[in-house]
Amino acid sequence: MRHRAYYYLCLLLVVLDQLTKQTVVSIFDLGESVIVNPYLSLTYVQNYGAGFSILASGTAIQKGFLLAVSITASCLIIFWIYKTLAIYRQRLFGQFFLLSGALGNLLDRVQYGYVIDFIDSHYGQYHWPVFNLADSFIFIGVALILFERRLPST
């Protein structure tokens, strides 16, 4: 299997995401929040939509659509990984972080019909939408891909 070590990284990240979500579910009641510091709280929410709770009304069609998008995105990322040469390490790290995040949230959608979120960052009265580790992995993956070091052209 090509890129075996990266798949192990992906598995580790997905397990870490799922463990943190299960820990939050077992400790917190839905909507419960604990302040960690002036900028961070742990708040258990269920996101029935996509990023920033887009399409969160929770109709069966919307749930099916979001599930289909998650599966399609994961398959496309895997295909992209397959086409990426091993010399592009930063791109591969980015792709596997992206895949880890997509799979972590996909597992939630399949298992519960929603995504478990719990990281609540805020400043004063302003709150960023609550997110999870999988969302962070997606952000890191996109950043690694976008800011990939390019070799000077000859």
Kindly indicate the confidence band of residue 68, based on its pLDDT and cuts at 50, 70 and 90: confident
23 or 67, which is more confident?
Answer: 23
* Integer Cα distance of 22 and 44 in angstroms: 11
Q: Which residue from 111, 132, 98, 125 is spatially nearest to 16, judged by alpha carbons?
A: 132
User: How many helices and strands in the chain, by DSSP H and E?
Assistant: 4, 4
Average pLDDT, the chain: 90
State how far Cα 70 lies from the chain centre.
Answer: 11
Give yes or no for a contact between 106 and 112, defined as CB atoms under 8 angstroms apart: no
Domain ranges of the chain: 4-26+52-121+128-146
* Integer Cα distance of 112 and 65 in angstroms: 15
pLDDT of residue 67: 83
* Residues listed for the chain: 154
Confidence check: pLDDT of 154 > 60: no
Active site residues: 117, 135
pLDDT of residue 64: 78
* Integer Cα distance of 137 and 86 in angstroms: 21
Confidence check: pLDDT of 53 > 90: no
Share of the chain above pLDDT 90, in %: 75
